[in-house]
Structure 1
């Protein structure tokens, strides 16, 4: 990865090279306060932006999960929600299910393995329900001169953006970045089941932009006007008891590499707001902010681990 990054940095440096122009006004005076941006420079700026997007998504890849789409899945229980979110971490830039690094679409046996479903009949039933609901569809694709049946996820629910692909121009204002490796690492743990991942999926629709706290009005940017979602209310949206949710968030952790060390961080943090307990989703797992995540947004997760590991 470092070799690729170095080469991309060199390309970016070359693109940043600017042609210089002397601007002379009507009086024959040289104007140093005027900058001329040529069509070539605009094209160079666009390519630099695309390179930054590519570097960001290749070093810590993520999928955009639509917040508003979660409401459309009210008929699904937490287990089915979890299966659907796991599937979303396997899409490529055209929403086709594909293992990272593979050139061909995932086969049914690979999808079943990714979902950790041992029974083929159960798997077929789940996939059939998703297909019937319009969450995914199957389509023949031609790759390298051969035909393959591929599974695609409806891009109303999730998508990935890069310098190419069908979703390149999609708006991300109402989407949450779910980091592929992080979510898959959570689900890979023996103690975690699909229902646990469904809790993470349900939390996405309540995620505040800057704080990652669960709120009732997630599109209110100003924390002064944001209304915290109580644990009781969140449990109600999950159709489980408050005590059951407490147990889940207490046990739900995942392995995370931080500064070269492997830590077991909490997926949710409990925060006291007045007389209520509210939840914050670990931004290293999912967040709405673009670019690198500020340390102060996930500081309590690191500090909680430090206290717990003493």
Structure 2
């Protein structure tokens, strides 16, 4: 579990009464480190896309306790977490239950139900009049852990505007299966040798998500926002397997390689050709 200590930054002497020490050597500590993270995100021609971080090793604990719909809300609310794990409005103020209701575009009773499940599961907790995400699962900041997935804020916001929360919850359940090098949904996402990757079929995905094969196949083929698809189907002889859009979810640093970029723009390229 996340551990809370008073730490002293060795370079500045700054104390951090609630510094968060994460599993796998992750940590969110000083403002100096936050500034360094922001500097790394900045690019020559502007800022890199904003993202939050999901710990792949730990989200099984969330999935076991949280409904699909609420996993979808959780994935969307990650877009509003700050470096102190506080859910915040665009004006930087802490997000209240009423703010959460407006952000999620749901009723007051739905928010109460969601928060009750989140806090009971230890995924979120109240800190005075603020709500925080447990950084054991999701946070914003740099990490040395490679078993994480970056979630790009602008893309998830766009996706939430066009799909149901349960569909977003389906996507959430697959984050733990994203391969580092290829973005393939696979059984061994930490395998370094791509020749040994074990892709999940639609039947496998149905089993790990608890849905019917028909429902899974519909989502894999049709989930999209604007002209962006969430998944790409790869046909190899009699086999079919799936990759997740690297412009929405990605594990590596930098930009996706040319093959992945082409794969998720190819439908648009065909559409342009037909015009």
Please state which band the TM-score falls in when normalised by the shorter chain.
Answer: 0.7 to 0.9
**Matched residue, 2:133:** 153
Alignment-derived partner of residue 280 in structure 1: 243
1:206 is aligned to 177
Report SS of the residue matched to 1:81. helix
Structure 2 contact 184–242 (Cα < 8 Å) conserved: yes
Q: What does 1:192-203 correspond to in 2, within 5 Å?
A: 192-203=163-174
Corresponding residue for residue 31 of structure 1: none
Residue pair 1:64, 1:172 contacting (<8 A) in 2 also:
no
- What residue is the counterpart of 1:249 in the other structure? 220
Gapped regions of structure 2 (runs ≥ 5): 1-32
Structure 1 residue 48 displacement after superposition: 10
In our comparison, the structure showing a higher alpha carbon Rg is 1
Q: Which residue of 1 aligns with 2:148?
A: 175
Match of 1:304 among 263, 267, 272: 267
Sort the Cα spacing of 1:254 and 1:93 in 2 relative to 1 into closer, same or farther, 3 A: same
Aligned equivalents of 2:127 and 2:193: distance in 1?
A: 44
Q: How many residues align?
A: 238
TM-score normalised by structure 1 residue count = 0.72
Matches within 5 A, 1:287-298: 287-298=250-261
The two structures have a TM-score, normalised by structure 2, of 0.80
Q: 1:47 to 1:91 in 2, by over 3 A?
A: closer
Question: Contact conserved, 1:212 with 1:287, CA < 8 A, in 2?
Answer: yes
Confirm or deny that 1:92 pairs with 2:65.
Answer: no
C-alpha separation between the residues in 2 aligned to 1:120 and 1:246? 33
Q: What per-residue deviation string (whole Å, max 9, x for no partner) do you get for residues 79-100 of structure 1?
A: 1211111121210011100124
Two-structure CA RMSD over aligned residues (Å): 2.2
Q: Which runs of 4+ in 1 moved over 3 A?
A: 46-52, 56-59
| Mapped contact 1:266–1:282 kept (Cα < 8 A) | yes
Query: What are the Cα deviations for residues 215-274 of structure 1, in whole angstroms up to 9, with x where unaligned?
Result: 10000021111111111101111111111111122221113xxxxxxxx11110011244
Map 1:204-283 onto structure 2 (within 5 A).
204-255=175-226, 264-283=227-246
| Aligned-residue offset at 1:276 | 2.2
Where 1:205 maps in the other structure, the secondary structure is helix
